[in-house]
Every structure is written in C-alpha cells, then in structure tokens.
Structure 1
Amino acid sequence: MKTVRLGLLGCGTVGGGVVRLIRENASVLATRVGAPLEIAKVLVRDPNKDRVPGLERDRITTDAAAVLDDPSIDVVVEVLGGVEPAKGYVERAIDSGRSVVTANKMLLAVHGPELVERAEKAGVDLAFEASVGGGIPVIRTLREALTSDSVTRLCGIVNGTSNYILTRMRQDGMPFATALREAQDKGYAEADPGLDVDGGDAAHKLVVLAMLAFGARVPHEAVYTEGIRDIEPIDHEFAARFGYTVKHLAIGQVREVHGKKSVELRVHPALLPAHTTLANVNGVLNAILLEGRALGPCLLSGRGAGDLPTAVSVVADVVDVAGARLSGAGGRMTRSVRLAETHLAPIDDVECAYYLRFQVFDRPGVLAHIAGALAEENVSILEMVQRGGGDARGEPVQVVMMTHVAREGALRRALAAAAKGGDYIAKPTHVLRVAPLA
C-alpha cells in the first residue's frame, strides 16, 4: 500500500498539534485516506527547540528545499503563519504539483485569489479549513454543505482574544487594560495583541469567509475595521440596560441596489440582542452565523484556536486532499472556489440602528441641540438614558441614545454637526452599531 508523505512547514503550536493528531490517529486516518500518512520532513527555525514527543530528529530540517524539492513528498502542510516566506513556499509547492493545506488566514486574505488560481492551473488542491474558526468546520460548510444554496449573510465572533476580553469586562466590570493583561497571563493574547484587539485578525478571516460565501475577491485593506480598545465597562452596563450584549463581530452580507450587487464587509464591536445564541458565546469560543436564501440561519460554534482544535481542521484537509490525490481527483476542492471582482459597499452606506454615548455638560438646551442635529439628518431616537446631572463641579454626564435604523453617512454628519454647535459635548461621541440579526 502506497504511503502518503507529508512535508510540514512549521512546527509551533498548530504544527505540533498536527503531528500529535496524525501519530495518535494513524490507523483511523489510514482507513479514511486509503493509505497511511507519514510525516516525512518538518521545517523549523530552531532545530534544538523541544518538539512533540516521538518526532524523530532526522525528520527535522531548517532547509526549506528539503521539503519543497523532495519529489517523494505528496502534500505540503503550511502552518508558519504570516505572508513571507509562507507565500513563496506555497507557490513552490503548487508549481511542483503538490497539493497544499494551510492554516494561514493572513496569507489567504492578502493573496488568496491568486493562490487559488495558481492551484487550479496546476491541477492541485489548496485547502484552508483551519484558516478561520480553528476547529469549527465553517469553510467545509460553505464549500460543500451550502453549495446548493446562496449565502446572503454571515455574522461571526471569529477572534477568541477579543471575545475573552469583552466577556471579562462584562461579567466582572474590568477595564480593558486589566482584561487584556489577564488574557495575556492565560496565554490567550500575544505580548503584542494589536492584530487581535484592533480587529486585523478578524478582518483577515472575514475576507477568507467572503471568498467562499459570496465568491468575493476584495482587497483585505478595504474592509472597514474597528477594534475593542475604546470599549469601557459603562458601555456593557448601558447595553445590558437596553437588552443587548457587546460583541466584536465580523459581518458580511450581499446587497442589491437598483439591480447592482455589492458586498458589505465590516469588522467592529456591535450590540447583539442579549437573548440570541450568538450573544451568549463567551470566553475564547468562536461562533459564525450563516444565512442561506433557502436554508435560513445556521449557527456553527466551538473552540476557535489552540493546538488540537486547529489541528483537527488541518488534518481533515490533509485526509481530503490525500484521498483525492490517490484517486486521481486532485484539484477538485480548488475548482469549487469561484471568485470575481466584487464591489465593496462603503461604510457610509451601511444601514442599522445605533448606540450613541455622549459625554455632555449638563446645561439647558443640550438635549435639544443633540436631538435637533440628529433630526436634521433623519436619525430618529428610539430610547434615551441619562446618568448623573446637575454636577456643581461642571463634570460631564453620560447620555446614551438608541436610534432607529439610520444610514451611517447621515449619522456621521449629524454627530459632526452636534459637536460643532455650542459648547455642549465634552468628548467625542462613542458609537456602536446594532448587529443585523432578526
């Protein structure tokens, strides 16, 4: 029986999980593939670092050519992360006729369409289940289970670090800095957490999801992105008062205006109705709500990071591409991805309800001034709460308004007008969108 030989690029947290899973489940995987899987070579930066127990030292190399130029290796697994040198390695593997499995969402967000086209031309598979949602099978669901339907919308919690921080802030009233420090102490956040808490990681994942869900080919830098640094405990308090929970979301949906299709992609904190399932996904868990035109809503949830959850997705792709290669059906997975240049709706065209937190000086006419500026742009107030008032020291008070659905561009103009007219507003208005959930 022929053995399927694997070349592993990287052996950090995820790579180590892949090695463990393939070793521990060897007999089951051999049955599913139709041949044993063998880890032939593992590319690492530091050959002296402690690795997964049982990984023979003669399989470890610091020379990429030992993996990429070995004709006996059938499938290349890339778990290095980042754009370079990963992009060059993946291209070399594809051009040499090997299928590639990757967990690299940044690489796919920046170069996904061109890599898919390259793989299709070479007749090999490019599989990337582990790039979004760790062990959640969202890519497989979009590529296979929903292939007969048309996905119209998705909304997901796709960054466990941000979800953990917001959960701790809400449950224990922690300020952002304290919750972040705790996340770092527990290993949920990096020493430099910017990619997670500023929304970049979620934006990369949203671009990958949009490729499968909408066939969208969009530049990753064009996705509207906000992080969670500006969220304060008081926002969680007010959100709960109105019946909502604050979550950091990746949102995508198809829009048609005058018969012209565009896609709305945005990443930012948002308010979710507290009774919804997605609002109650806490800690480091991820969850993604998909909505099909025929199917309706479908929620996938689970562990979005970690060695074994992510390795489950990587190895599932390995099983698929290895089995396809043995049966002579390589490239089928890649051929199912159809991408087209897609118009990205500008953020000013977004329509939703809003949470507005004003810090104002408690003076006669202040509420009339704000309400007038909103009314001028047809932004209607649904509810309002004021905390404090009549402070003899002239300290600002908190005024929170929930609006009806409004156009973002109109809201921005209204807030700019409110800030200019009179000496009423002490600090810039804090704005949160209400997520588009039924």
Structure 2
Amino acid sequence: MRGPANAEDPSTTSPRRGSIRLGLLGCGTVGGGVLELCAANARWLEGRVGAPLEVRRVLVRDPAKERVAACDPRWITTRPEDVVDDPEIDVVVEVMGGEGAALELVERAISAGKGVVTANKLLLAKHGPRLVDLAIARGTDLAFEGAVGGGIPIIRTLREAFASDWVERLAGIVNGTCNYVLGRMREGGLGLDAAVREAQAKGYAEADPSLDTGGHDAAHKLCVLAMLAFGARVPASALHVEGIEGIEERDHRYAERFGYVIKHLAIGRDFGDAIELRVHPTLIPKTSVLANVSGVLNAILLEGRALGPCMLYGRGAGDLPTAVSVVSDILDVGRSIVAGASGLLTRGIAMEPRPLKPQEDIETRYYLRLSAPERPGLMARIAGGLGELGVSLEQMVQPERPATPGDPVDIVVLTHVAREGNVTAALERMRAEGLFAAPPRLYRIEVS
C-alpha cells in the first residue's frame, strides 16, 4: 500500500481540528479494506485531502465478530443513528450492501447534509437518480466509483474525462464470475455446472450464483453506467437481461470454428432518440481486445463521439480493489468539504428519462443453434424460413454427423445484420411447424 513506512494509524491518533470525520455503514470485505487503506496510508491521504481522515463510527451487526486490525473497537456500534445522525460525522461510507436499510440510511445522511460514498450497485441501479437529485438539492456529494468495476476508475472516467464528449457506445465485461465460468468452459472443456462449482471453490462465485450467472449483477452495473454515459434515468426492470445458463460446451466449440469467443457483455448504445441497454452472452471476434480479457478480470470499452475508442481493464471485485475506489471517493468528497465546495462532484450529473429501443427492434448479427431431425432439404427449409422474414444468412453448417441416421443434428447459422423481431418470428414459425427437436438457441454477435 502506498505511503511512508511510518504512516500513522488513525486508531492511535487523537482527533485533530479540521479533520474529515468518517462513519462506515458496514465492515465486511470492502469495509475492512477501506479501514486498512485509511490506516496504512494515513499521512499520504491527509496530504491529498488537506486534512486528516478520522474514522469515528463503524456500524456492524455483530460487535463480537473478529475484524481487521485497523478497526478500533471503540468505533464499533450497532445503532445506525450513531453514524447517520451524528452531527460531527462529515462523510458516511455505505458498504453494507442490500437495498432497504441502505436506502433509508443513505437518504438520511444526504438529507442531513453529509457527503455519502457508496459501493452499492443494487441501490444505485434502483434508486440512483432519486439519490442524485436529493444530493444536488441538499448541496452535498454522492460518490459511487466502487459500485462498478471494483478498482477500475470507470465512474471517474465517465464523470470527468468524458465531460466534454458524448459516449455513443459502451460494451463491457462487468461480471468476473461469468467471465471465469465461460473461460473454463471454453479452455477446459467443462460443462456449465462444473465450471460454476470450480468458481465457487476458488471463491469467485457465491453459494447461490444466480445473481451473477443470471445476468442481474451486470444489469445493475449497466444501469449505473447509463446514468453517466447516456444521462439516462432508466429503471433496472426495463433492461433486456439474459444470463449464461443456456450456454453449452458445444457452443464454445462452434464459436471457435467461426473465429469467435463467447463473452457475457453489458452493452449500451445511444441513437439520439433512444438508447439500447442489454445484457446477454455475445459472440465477439477472437481478435477483439475484449476477447482476451480472461479469468475474473473486468474490462469496459467506451466509444466517444470525438475521442473514439477507450478501454479500461482490471480487477473488478475484491476487498482491496474495491476499497481503492471507495477511498478515492472519500478523498474527492473530503477535498470538496475542505475547500468549502461540497456538491460539485454530484452537480455535474445530468439525467433525464430516455426511451429504450425495444428489443425486437435491435439490429445486429445472430448465432443460431438449431436442433432438428436430419432429413433431405432440412438446411434449405431453415434458410427459406429465415429468408421469408428478410433474414439473410452469412453461413450455415452442420458441424457434426448424427450418431444414428434420423437422430437430431445441430445446424449452426450465422446471419448478416437483421432486426431481432424478424429473427425470432422466423424461428417461432418454424418451431410451430414442428421443424425443431429442441428449442432454438439464439445468441447475438456484437458489431461495431
């Protein structure tokens, strides 16, 4: 950790006049990392803020639980009001997670004029615009770098570096669990369940991984990104969200055959009159920079109208990477307080309700895996069925022979750019005719 070897530990120093006084809501993985960074780099951080950071209160559920050495037992409380209602606390750091209690406490802190730093993507996805409005009205700051991308400075980049430009497109690997699982399926030949179990054993996936593998974690992050990238007030429930549960090992083999890899992406585009926001498995060329983001790493590609492409890459989760982002936000909010300019960070966030492009009107290319009993004319019927609704084919192959004549075979189709509603309507028409032996699989191919 950065800082001189003799950096002071705030737990051993007496309060000094002019300090920035912190109250933490939560002291789990990320909260412990925040305390460790603040303790190890105390003098360095003081120089960056212009005043020492002083932890005053830490809200916990179980005061008897063992915690990081940087957490002074004298700070511990189980009473939320000791943090949000204490007039001497300047900045409230919300790292407790969840929605209900966190929302109430963050609103109380903002209403009391305190700066708030949060890493809570669920809270921001569902209530971010409302909380930003409240902070602007109250003249205080709401900072949330840690909510997306762990230690990747994506929020700061959108808020500051792109302040003079307009983001036209973003595409990101924002969930490390999905990225790890898909990588192990592709490289290790594992099935989905086996890859998930391996991720759990390594601590990369929760006991219940559905929030990650179902795409909902990535959707929450995309909502937060859309606030800054597109100035959009969009409810999380409006996004098109697909997880990775339907992907099979053979999909990776087929994608490889055509020169693609499968990644789980959060995608946003601004068309002016509407925006696209969607989360789903996506085939991307093996030559793409995103295709080479491996393991639990995250990466977000931005395209500015003037700047062009820009990519941020790094560790998207974990105690210290996320804590780095949280402490950086504390520094920003603390500097604003010292300068007597609270609220400047948040005041620059401008949002308005923006319509989402209906999913059926999305236009991209498609990978289709169709299972049907082998018979003469099968591929011609599929090509004709898609062509009847204006879907043009780029390639269509039967990758493997059936074990027994007449058994179902896989037909893999790559389309040219087509309207999604036409593709799904053509597949539904052929399914209703009894052409398929199993439900068709549709995955999108990302186009620049």
Asked if TM exceeds 0.5, the reply is yes
Aligned to 1:212: 228
Superposed CA offset, 1:89-143 (max 9, x none): 0001001110100000000000000000000010000000010000000000000
In the alignment, is the contact (CA less than 8 A) between 2:263 and 2:282 conserved in 1?
A: yes
1:54 offset after TM fit, Å? 3.4
In the alignment, is the contact (CA less than 8 A) between 2:254 and 2:399 conserved in 1?
A: no
Structure 1 distance, partners of 2:33, 2:402, is 59
Superposed CA offset, 1:313-347 (max 9, x none): 00000000001011111000110100101101110
1:298 alignment partner, SS class: strand
Structure 2 distance, partners of 1:384, 1:374, is 12
1:5-16 equivalence runs, <5 A: 5-16=21-32
1:159-170 equivalence runs, <5 A: 159-170=175-186
1:392 offset after TM fit, Å? 3.1
Which of the residues 276, 291, 296 maps onto 2:288?
A: 276
1:226-375 equivalence runs, <5 A: 226-256=242-272, 261-375=273-387
Which of the residues 102, 106, 127 maps onto 1:86?
A: 102
In the alignment, is the contact (CA less than 8 A) between 1:362 and 1:391 conserved in 2?
A: no
1:390 offset after TM fit, Å? 5.6
Structure 1 distance, partners of 2:287, 2:404, is 40
Query: CA 1:196–1:390 in 2, change beyond 3 Å: closer, same or farther?
Result: closer
Which of the residues 153, 156, 172 maps onto 2:172?
A: 156
Q: Give the partner amino acid of 1:158.
A: V
1:66-145 equivalence runs, <5 A: 66-145=82-161
Aligned to 1:432: 443
2:437 alignment partner, SS class: strand
Residue identity over aligned pairs, in percent, reads 58
Structure 2 distance, partners of 1:54, 1:224, is 42
Structure 1 distance, partners of 2:72, 2:158, is 37
Structure 1 distance, partners of 2:192, 2:400, is 23
Structure 2 distance, partners of 1:293, 1:197, is 33
Structure 2 distance, partners of 1:52, 1:391, is 59
2:58 is the alignment partner of 1:42 = yes
2:434 is the alignment partner of 1:418 = no
Aligned to 2:218: 202
Structure 2 distance, partners of 1:293, 1:49, is 51
Q: Give the partner amino acid of 2:59.
A: L
Unmatched segments (≥5 aa) in structure 2: 1-16
Q: Give the partner amino acid of 1:424.
A: L
Unmatched segments (≥5 aa) in structure 1: none
Coordinate RMSD, CA, aligned: 1.0
1:364 offset after TM fit, Å? 1.5
Which of the residues 67, 81, 87 maps onto 1:51?
A: 67
Which of the residues 365, 383, 399 maps onto 2:411?
A: 399
In the alignment, is the contact (CA less than 8 A) between 2:200 and 2:206 conserved in 1?
A: yes
Structure 1 distance, partners of 2:277, 2:123, is 18
2:108 alignment partner, SS class: helix
Query: CA 1:306–1:383 in 2, change beyond 3 Å: closer, same or farther?
Result: same
1:391 offset after TM fit, Å? 4.5
In the alignment, is the contact (CA less than 8 A) between 1:362 and 1:389 conserved in 2?
A: no
In the alignment, is the contact (CA less than 8 A) between 2:375 and 2:406 conserved in 1?
A: no
Q: Give the partner amino acid of 1:46.
A: D
1:163 alignment partner, SS class: helix
2:28 is the alignment partner of 1:28 = no
1:394 offset after TM fit, Å? 3.3
Aligned to 1:182: 198
In the alignment, is the contact (CA less than 8 A) between 2:95 and 2:120 conserved in 1?
A: yes
2:440 alignment partner, SS class: strand
Superposed CA offset, 1:342-383 (max 9, x none): 101110011001001111110112112111110001111101
1:393 offset after TM fit, Å? 5.6
1:395 offset after TM fit, Å? 2.3
Aligned to 2:80: 64
2:398 alignment partner, SS class: strand
1:323 alignment partner, SS class: helix
Structure 1 distance, partners of 2:238, 2:279, is 11
Q: Give the partner amino acid of 1:234.
A: R
Structure 2 distance, partners of 1:164, 1:122, is 42
User: TM-score with structure 1 length normalisation?
Assistant: 0.97
Structure 1 distance, partners of 2:404, 2:150, is 53
Q: Give the partner amino acid of 1:425.
A: F
